[in-house]
Amino acid sequence: MRLEGWHLIIIIVLALVLFAAPKLPGMARSLGQSMRIFKSEVREMKKDGTPDANEGSGPVEGRVINHPRAGSPESRTGDGTDVPPSARA
C-alpha cells in the first residue's frame, strides 16, 4: 500500500486534532488577527497609491542650508578634486 498526498494530509490533520487540540483556539485566534493586520496593511498600501487632495498637488518648496559659496576659498580645492581636504590622502 502506497501513501499518497491525501493520505498524508489526513494523518497530519488527525495528529493536530489529537495532540494540539488545547492549542487550536489560540492558534486560530492568532491566525485571524494576522489576517486582519495583513488586510489592513494592504488596504493602507492601496490608499497610499491614490493621490490625496492635500498631498502631491503642488510644487515642493525648499532651500539649501550650509551650502558653500562658489567664490569662497574653502570650496575650491585647487587640484580639481571634489574630495574634502580632511579625506584626502
Q: Are 75 and 82 in contact (CB under 8 A)?
A: no
SS3 label, residue 34: helix
Instruction: Return the pLDDT at 36.
Output: 96
pLDDT value at residue 69: 64
Residue 17 has pLDDT above 80, yes or no: yes
Residue 4 DSSP label: -
Cell 494592504, located at residue? 42
Q: What pLDDT is stored for residue 48 in this prediction?
A: 85
Alpha helix stretches (DSSP H) within 1-89: 5-19, 24-49
pLDDT of residue 3: 76
Query: For the segment 29-84, what is each residue's pLDDT rounded down to a tens digit?
Result: 999 999 999 999 999 999 887 765 455 556 777 776 776 665 555 545 555 556 66
Alpha carbons 25 and 4: distance in angstroms, whole number: 29
All three cell numbers of 61, joined, read 518648496
